[in-house]
Amino acid sequence: MTAARTVTRAAGVAVVSLLVAACSAPPPAAPAAYRAPRTPDGAPDLSGIWQANNTANWDIEAHPAKSGPMFQLGAAFSVPPGIGVVEGGALPYLPEALAKKQANAASWTTLDPEVKCFMPGIPRATYQPFPFQIVQSADNVLMTYEFASASRMIRMNSQEKSPAPAWMGWSVGRWDGETLVVDVVDHMEETWFDRAGNYHSDALKVTERYTALDANTLQYQATIDDPKVYSRAWTMSMPLYRRREANAQLMEYKCVEFAEELMYGHLRKTPRRPTE
């Protein structure tokens, strides 16, 4: 009996010793932050073809699944659910601006500039369900988008001012360590953030941040500052994924001809029948 107690006591002491050692051991070191490959001038190389994988183009806020605008299409054009990409909850609309957002949502099939094949603007071009490509040089970063063949030039460390408002805004970039930071101003106020009617004014300033998390993933963040529409600045964020097909490339998607009947069909001498 005494021997058994001695063994039990010794085992207990060993367990306690192990627990003490585990508690006093230093925590495991955090993994080193990813460092992207470098361009010839030493900047992080973010070049490649990238694409978002979310439902933000339908609605940047969290939303349930629901039927689409045409019952004849059934589930083919229904709205998929999404957890949202906006940080911190609901968008901080000013009261009068919220009323306009709701009116936009009620008539989005005729008001949304995407339906008319207008260039999508920033940040929406980033998370439309189409790829975009980044090409870098020492002085500029070119981003080209498949939708509507849109593109923009990001002028690095430039003091040049925008000559006029533009659909894709005026972009000036800089490097903050591993992150490409882009200030985008002089937007056309006609662009929207999504098909849910979320919108902005001509006072919009977007601050974008692109950071490589690994060889095939960028973390994208866009801070929206528009005092005419929102009571405070707010931020959306999402990962972007590299297209890794052997022949990955941007395809031609010039959608203007698909919108001609919608926009100008009323000018026909003989109206086109819906089945034509």
State the Cα torsion 84-200-154-255 to the nearest 10°: 80
Per the DSSP assignment, residues forming a β-bridge with 230 are: 93
| pLDDT score for 240 | 98
| pLDDT score for 149 | 95
Q: Are 92 and 232 in contact (CB under 8 A)?
A: yes
pLDDT in tens, 61-96: 999 999 988 888 899 989 999 999 999 989 999 999
Predicted confidence (pLDDT) at residue 44 exceeds the cutoff of 80: yes
Predicted confidence (pLDDT) at residue 4 exceeds the cutoff of 90: no
Q: Average pLDDT, stretch 117-132?
A: 97
What would the two tokens of residue 162 be? 């925008």
The SS3 of residue 142 is strand
Question: pTM of the full predicted structure?
Answer: 0.86
pLDDT in tens, 209-234: 999 999 999 999 999 999 999 999 99
| Exposed / middle / buried, residue 170 (Cβ in 10 Å: 0-12, 13-18, 19+) | buried
> In one letter, which amino acid is 186?
D
Predicted confidence (pLDDT) at residue 132 exceeds the cutoff of 70: yes
Grade residue 192 by pLDDT with cuts at 50, 70 and 90: very high
Q: Average pLDDT, stretch 103-129?
A: 96
Nearest CA to 245 out of 73, 51, 15, 17 is that of 51
Predicted confidence (pLDDT) at residue 1 exceeds the cutoff of 50: no
Per the DSSP assignment, residues forming a β-bridge with 135 are: 142
Grade residue 118 by pLDDT with cuts at 50, 70 and 90: very high
pLDDT in tens, 135-161: 999 999 999 999 999 999 999 999 999
| pLDDT score for 15 | 47
